[in-house]
């Protein structure tokens, strides 16, 4: 079973992600901020990461940079899930190591199509 780490400061968004991904057969780990997500990433095996952009403490772009510095996460797909649609932010996220970008509110079928494509 593939494990997906979701990182979002909104409990309702984490709940929606867990429901959508869990119902499709994925195991879901939840973190409410980048710091706790990095701790989980160091101690768990994760096949994909879905992160918010705007979070307290460390934002999603800095989180991606930090995650990409960990050897096991150099090739793991990371998707930014955010209300932002600014092209400049998308380019920054891509430069930091983001694999994809989904705009909130997301559609479950879109999320699952992206997940399936990235995880094979």
The CA distance from 78 to 93, in Å, is 10
For 3-119, give the CATH class: alpha beta
Q: What is the rounded distance in angstroms from the CA atom of residue 61 to the CA atom of residue 117?
A: 22
Domain ranges of the chain: 3-119
Distance CA 31, CA 45 (A): 14
The pLDDT value given to residue 83:
94
Strands (E), 12-110: 27-31, 48-51, 78-82, 100-103
> For residues 120 and 104, what is the distance between their CA atoms, to the nearest angstrom?
23
* Largest Cα span, the chain: 35
Q: How far is it, in rounded angstroms, from Cα 53 to Cα 93?
A: 9
Residue 119 contacts by C-beta under 8 Å, 6 or more apart in sequence?
2, 47, 48, 77
Residuewise pLDDT in 10s, the chain (120 residues):
999 999 999 999 999 999 999 999 999 999 999 999 999 999 999 999 999 999 999 999 999 999 999 999 999 999 999 999 999 999 999 999 999 999 999 999 999 999 999 998
């Amino acid at each position: 079973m593939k494990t997906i780490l979701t990182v979002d400061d909104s409990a309702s968004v984490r709940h929606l992600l867990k429901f959508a991904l869990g119902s499709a057969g994925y195991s879901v780990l939840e973190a409410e901020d980048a710091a706790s997500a990095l701790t989980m990433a160091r101690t768990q095996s994760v096949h994909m990461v879905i992160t918010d952009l705007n979070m307290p403490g460390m934002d999603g772009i800095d989180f991606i940079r930090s995650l990409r510095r960990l050897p096991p996460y150099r090739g793991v797909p990371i998707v930014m899930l955010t209300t932002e649609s600014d092209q400049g932010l998308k380019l920054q996220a891509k430069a930091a190591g983001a694999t994809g970008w989904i705009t909130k509110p997301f559609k479950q079928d879109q999320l699952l199509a992206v997940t399936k494509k990235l995880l094979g």
